[in-house]
Amino acid sequence: MHPADAEPIAHYADMFAAMGTESRLRIMQLLLSAHPEGLVVGEIQAQLGLSASNLSHHLDKLKNEELVAVQREGTFLRCRANTAALQRLLAFLYAECCQRSCAVSPKSILKPAS
């Protein structure tokens, strides 16, 4: 592996690690389903049944890898999925599995329009 390739791969590995728990993956799923408005922390907490401290811990991990953006709105914190970061992550995987090695057919990933 070329040394210049190691840095982006390490970053993508960190992003995957940040999503590597059930709770964090569920948070990402909720935020993506609420895109682009996102959800306030209380809404996430109510839907997932996590304690405030546990949710805060998970959001910090996702925020540190730039997968989630948090914005203060008065007394509330609104969370949004960082779709640009997710797009880069998916593009990395897509380039390897669907273009370079053709291990997966791009058509098999996409659902037909209904």
Distances from the Cα of 73 to the Cα of 7, 33, 107, angstroms: 35, 20, 41
Residue 14: which domain range?
Answer: 3-100
Say what the pLDDT of residue 24 is. 98
Q: Does 111 map to a domain?
A: no
Q: Does 74 map to a domain?
A: yes
Q: Does 17 map to a domain?
A: yes
Say what the pLDDT of residue 106 is. 64
Nearest to 27 by CA among 3, 53, 1, 50: 50
37 touches 30 (CB < 8 A): no
Q: Is 112 helix (H, G, I), strand (E, B) or coil?
A: coil
The mean pLDDT value for 84-90 works out to 92
Q: Give the pLDDT confidence of 13-71 residue by residue, as tens digits.
A: 999 999 999 999 999 999 999 999 999 999 999 999 999 999 999 999 999 999 999 99
pTM for the full predicted model: 0.82
Say what the pLDDT of residue 50 is. 96
According to DSSP, residue 83 is labeled: H
What is the number of structural domains in the chain? 1
Q: Does 112 map to a domain?
A: no
Say what the pLDDT of residue 16 is. 95
Assess whether pLDDT exceeds 90 at residue 101.
no
Q: Does 9 map to a domain?
A: yes
Q: Does 105 map to a domain?
A: no
Q: Does 21 map to a domain?
A: yes
Q: Does 108 map to a domain?
A: no
**CATH no. for residue 65?**
1.10.10.10
